[in-house]
Structure 1
């Protein structure tokens, strides 16, 4: 199984020209960025680096100082301001203490800082303080973790490194581990590195470059040791299930993802899925020993909060089971996993972890034999983070298994790390959940006007938005704008002709494969024509009905299919018009098509009720600014109908409203979002008019 190959040696990224001229903390940031750029060396948010030197404190006194990575920052992107400065003379005396609990340690570190506004120091700050070197790097390399996570690891490390490295059996990060490392280095003065079993590596040097190169050296040698020791045994026993084609994988995933997401939504707020179909992911999920090896536990403490102690392995063989079988096995598997996780929480609960409520009980990682791996998170970024971490787990577990068997933390220790107050602190620093966090919305007609305003507002409230429009460039622009503002994968631009059954079905398939399902559909794709009845062509009539009636029907039908598979309800919002309620001259095709979509919404509300699917309509009127429709012939035609100049239309429409106001796309979007959100959880079949008050359009 060549897809599961030995761990390779890291690439030396040090650029002398780039490093030249960098001094102090700027060079520390440069070195950190190099380490973080290679995820086989440092997980996102994991690992820490430091330097020691002299600086001036607030009173201009020379102070021996430790600069260390701030808690929760990422080595790949950290800048100089991410390194808090601490008084080294405050830290070194702690070596004389016999014990220090985490809360006292954190408080002490904060008080030892030189500036009150700097980041909170890493929980492994004392490790850096106690290592007697100017520059220290602590990383989580795949090769070192694999070497130290199997029964043969200590022997292999001794054979390779001898007195150059000291071995520390697993110990939770904190004061005791830091003190023990200092003792080991005193006992082994020739050591150049510390191997932290089931955790990582510590290296150091007189310069940043020396420390960086020491990391690469020891990781490279660990990788070579693993390759020699595991020769011929990589691959987790070979294929148990043969991988399916891309087309077959897509068919299976379209059945499995809504089923998985629906079960995960049963026990938490919104959730986003990500599929990993890389050769390594497919090989791992499909290997003979993955069902056993994957259940041993996470390979590194840093993984636990984002991947949990173990993944769900679905019992599935595409040769003998159907897509429907897969969906049902996913559902039952998630329920069984949830029962396990509740028991895991209860049996491992301690006084330290008791203040923290149980996390959503579903799996964060799901192995689908023959297909790949699916990860989940509260948003796309978190789902990607879980994927990145499990990519590291694949490398570590495969290599350790080849060498002699993978070993992980004990279950009580894994739980203690997962609910460790210091890890929970990191979670508490994340931005709070918003109303639509982790929800998935499709907006048709999203490139302009009401659709664009709605897509922006949904994204602002946390939704992941598929922006669909016949104007594909416009859809992409809106999606890119949302991603730039709110983060990766927060929006997806899609080209669609809503009158095409195949095109509408395809965009919904794309959304399911991209995010895992659907929660909200906003039908805002529009068209308008104005003409006296005798001048209305059959083509005009059919075009209005194709977009405004058929288009809404097709999108709603595809949404219903996904929402019922998820089994967690959903919201569909039709963008109607004042014309759906009020008869008017010279717009028979447009107005009657809008009336048809309004009544379609009522019918769908009746059908959707038993599934928890709500269907409502927002009726705007005269939303001129930013509208593609009002930039077309419609504006001139309506001005002619009312006998006013085009430039006077806003004043004309404002004058006929009870409130004396013009209506803007953002006003309509606010009502759409109300129907899309839990605020309207008990409303269906309803209409909100956003028209400034047009008396003839009152619904009662």
Structure 2
């Protein structure tokens, strides 16, 4: 067993006890190895790289033993790989495709032929990397994109460095787009070295990545770690040796708190520009590796070169947009800020359009969104924008990897990126386009960001849950921190960490509201949907109702709705994308009843404020609508604080009789649930009512007194 303490630049995660439980099952060991490799982002990126194993299995048609290769399927991630995410192919059939291979001009037609080699009928679609593994004879193979190796692979004299660093035991194959022909070149590299008496332990792919292998899962795992560790050690020994990293710092970063203030102020403006084709969700990072690059003297030279590894630029576009903006610039005037940034965005769009027009082929797909994915703000950090949070976060991770590659290549030689035409041929590869076309249709709220006040429980949580189910990301918030943490854990477990952000929010406190919206801007880039749901209820006769209770009702329900809407509108206007405000009001806003002077009149104020804002904000394409619930009992805070007792007393019944009483008095004889209110909110924001504003939707089971005239 290897000494795990010998690895300082990669994580040795092998657990022999766990591996022993899998002994005898080479496929299980291959998946275990893959998961360990994918758990360390220094070894490969999310969704990047590929791993395989070759085993002998029984042919279900002949009953005879046959060689089978299990390999990560197309679009999978080795860190989360399971057997169901793999493709299994007959090795002899895969290799026999060489007999019908017509040359590199017909490369793409081979992908369909992979399917004729399928062994396991439950296989995922084989990836383009399949022949790269199939033409190598080793039992276990790892193909990864480690920053340390790519830094050498992308260096001007990377081939020479590789030869000297590994004494000729790591081969070299020049850059070529992955596919059948590259598989043949890997085989040729291995054979040419064998003829010289050299037994390779791996092959470096120019500008691309690394192949390593072993006879067992463990041998392959350790070989991979050792090769990458050696690359990383070499880079570390050379950082700053010939010149300062990235030429040294040109500017100094703001302090962390100030960076986040600037990022929160700028993100909605950037998101608005980057969403001119498709609504985007953002991500911000002020990782020190990003700042070291963004603040450097070499930024202006290196950033336009773009990335080298295809896995990087497929997620980040060919190059980033660099903002010419002082770190401590005054960002308070939205219109002047937009005027300053727009020319840079337009220049980027023009650059991308020229790149497309210059490199396109007769059969190239139509030009995609020309807006930047990566935006660097020197002294502050990096913004990334994509169709959802996970993709924008991963884009940031990939560009950070690209920075690591540039840093390493510049330390030992000179960084080289792929030629523009090669990059284009990857980005607009017809196989990549086919993959994009196979992706599921976006959900109605894809690309939308929602902030629902009081969303750690009851109606608010039901609304937030519905929005996430329909594709949105949400900012959960509550005044109760423990309740908020519980809701956050629940949402992350069900929907994943990228679907949710949180903020403690007191709707009566201006600073608290501002912080919640800043959290939304930092987590997702802005906000699109604001639901004013937070509230309380007090049911007392006018003589029993205290002034303090009256003020509390109006502070939370009326002033809170006003303050949250006011702060939200500022962000919506920064984005310039329109948006929705939905106010959870009540049947009590129009129905008179006993013991309800404070609550009912506050709800009436909420209702009319909704109409007033609809009239004011229409020119900004901001829709304002209301939902009028009644008697939402299940999981609702409305019954806390004596409300249930007060209503029961008003109606001359017991608290236990309230649910049946409320249901019976409705025209539909139905109890109202939080999910019913959530559905009503979705009806307003889901896309079918985009030309509707100033409306009220009753969700009360049918209360004739509540019908609006």
TM-score by length of structure 1 reads 0.94
Q: 1:286 to 1:80 in 2, by over 3 A?
A: same
Per the TM alignment, residue 110 of structure 1 is displaced from its structure 2 partner at its CA by: 1.4
Q: Does 1:250 align with 2:245?
A: no
2:70 corresponds to: 67
1:223 corresponds to: 232
DSSP-derived class of the 1:305 partner: helix
2:89 corresponds to: 86
Per the TM alignment, residue 598 of structure 1 is displaced from its structure 2 partner at its CA by: 0.9
Q: 1:228 to 1:647 in 2, by over 3 A?
A: closer
Among 138, 142, 163, the alignment partner of 1:137 is 142
CA distance in 1, matches of 2:168, 2:512: 66
Q: Structure 1 residues 117-126 or 656-665, which shifts more?
A: 656-665
1:177 corresponds to: 182
Q: CA RMSD in A?
A: 2.1
Per the TM alignment, residue 610 of structure 1 is displaced from its structure 2 partner at its CA by: 1.4
CA distance in 2, matches of 1:685, 1:321: 36
Among 16, 39, 42, the alignment partner of 2:41 is 39
1:4 corresponds to: none
Moved over 6 A (4+): none
Per the TM alignment, residue 589 of structure 1 is displaced from its structure 2 partner at its CA by: 0.6
Q: How does 1:185-584 map to 2 (within 5 A)?
A: 185-189=190-194, 190=198, 191-228=200-237, 231-269=241-279, 271-318=280-327, 324=333, 328-354=339-365, 357-428=366-437, 430-584=439-593
2:10 corresponds to: 10
Q: Structure 1 residues 569-578 or 290-299, which shifts more?
A: 290-299
CA distance in 1, matches of 2:166, 2:257: 48
Per the TM alignment, residue 546 of structure 1 is displaced from its structure 2 partner at its CA by: 0.9
Residues 327 and 377 of structure 2 are in contact (CA less than 8 Å); yes or no, is this contact kept in structure 1? Answer: no
Q: 1:489 to 1:67 in 2, by over 3 A?
A: closer
Per the TM alignment, residue 569 of structure 1 is displaced from its structure 2 partner at its CA by: 1.0
Q: 1:530 to 1:61 in 2, by over 3 A?
A: same
Residues 46 and 302 of structure 1 are in contact (CA less than 8 Å); yes or no, is this contact kept in structure 2? Answer: yes
Per the TM alignment, residue 135 of structure 1 is displaced from its structure 2 partner at its CA by: 2.1
DSSP-derived class of the 1:499 partner: coil
Per the TM alignment, residue 396 of structure 1 is displaced from its structure 2 partner at its CA by: 0.2
Cα deviations by residue, 1:111-143 (Å, 9 ceiling, x for unpaired)? 111122211122111111111222222111212
1:690 corresponds to: 699
Residues 259 and 331 of structure 1 are in contact (CA less than 8 Å); yes or no, is this contact kept in structure 2? Answer: no
Cα deviations by residue, 1:478-515 (Å, 9 ceiling, x for unpaired)? 33222222221312333222112222222112221221
Residues 283 and 383 of structure 2 are in contact (CA less than 8 Å); yes or no, is this contact kept in structure 1? Answer: yes
2:4 corresponds to: none
Q: Structure 1 residues 630-639 or 309-318, which shifts more?
A: 630-639
Residues 162 and 168 of structure 2 are in contact (CA less than 8 Å); yes or no, is this contact kept in structure 1? Answer: no
Q: How many residues align?
A: 691
Per the TM alignment, residue 28 of structure 1 is displaced from its structure 2 partner at its CA by: 0.9
Q: 1:305 to 1:544 in 2, by over 3 A?
A: same
Q: Structure 1 residues 129-138 or 514-523, which shifts more?
A: 129-138
Q: Does 1:626 align with 2:623?
A: no
Per the TM alignment, residue 37 of structure 1 is displaced from its structure 2 partner at its CA by: 2.0
DSSP-derived class of the 1:438 partner: coil
Among 93, 116, 121, the alignment partner of 1:116 is 121
Q: 1:41 to 1:448 in 2, by over 3 A?
A: closer
Per the TM alignment, residue 229 of structure 1 is displaced from its structure 2 partner at its CA by: 5.3
Residues 449 and 626 of structure 1 are in contact (CA less than 8 Å); yes or no, is this contact kept in structure 2? Answer: yes
CA distance in 1, matches of 2:299, 2:338: 21
Q: 1:495 to 1:248 in 2, by over 3 A?
A: closer
DSSP-derived class of the 1:274 partner: strand
Q: 1:477 to 1:386 in 2, by over 3 A?
A: same
Per the TM alignment, residue 322 of structure 1 is displaced from its structure 2 partner at its CA by: 5.4
CA distance in 1, matches of 2:179, 2:48: 15
DSSP-derived class of the 2:203 partner: strand
CA distance in 2, matches of 1:54, 1:672: 57
CA distance in 2, matches of 1:9, 1:502: 43
Cα deviations by residue, 1:259-305 (Å, 9 ceiling, x for unpaired)? 01111222103x22111111111111111111220211212011222
TM-score by length of structure 2 reads 0.93
1:662 corresponds to: 671
Residues 472 and 493 of structure 1 are in contact (CA less than 8 Å); yes or no, is this contact kept in structure 2? Answer: no
Query: Where does structure 2 lack aligned partners over 5 or more consecutive residues?
Result: 1-6
Q: Structure 1 residues 334-343 or 437-446, which shifts more?
A: 334-343
1:3 corresponds to: none
Among 53, 56, 75, the alignment partner of 1:54 is 56
CA distance in 2, matches of 1:217, 1:623: 61
Per the TM alignment, residue 224 of structure 1 is displaced from its structure 2 partner at its CA by: 3.8
Q: 1:598 to 1:455 in 2, by over 3 A?
A: same
CA distance in 2, matches of 1:321, 1:626: 45
DSSP-derived class of the 1:455 partner: helix
Q: 1:18 to 1:695 in 2, by over 3 A?
A: closer
Residues 252 and 323 of structure 1 are in contact (CA less than 8 Å); yes or no, is this contact kept in structure 2? Answer: no
CA distance in 1, matches of 2:9, 2:516: 42
CA distance in 1, matches of 2:339, 2:128: 43
Residues 204 and 211 of structure 1 are in contact (CA less than 8 Å); yes or no, is this contact kept in structure 2? Answer: yes
CA distance in 2, matches of 1:50, 1:477: 40
CA distance in 2, matches of 1:587, 1:322: 46
DSSP-derived class of the 1:173 partner: coil
Q: Does 1:19 align with 2:19?
A: yes
CA distance in 2, matches of 1:501, 1:334: 33
Residues 233 and 403 of structure 1 are in contact (CA less than 8 Å); yes or no, is this contact kept in structure 2? Answer: no
Residues 624 and 630 of structure 1 are in contact (CA less than 8 Å); yes or no, is this contact kept in structure 2? Answer: yes
DSSP-derived class of the 2:501 partner: strand
1:613 corresponds to: 622
Cα deviations by residue, 1:153-212 (Å, 9 ceiling, x for unpaired)? 222223223432222111110011111121222211113321110001112222222222
DSSP-derived class of the 2:79 partner: coil
Per the TM alignment, residue 623 of structure 1 is displaced from its structure 2 partner at its CA by: 1.5
Residues 274 and 387 of structure 1 are in contact (CA less than 8 Å); yes or no, is this contact kept in structure 2? Answer: yes
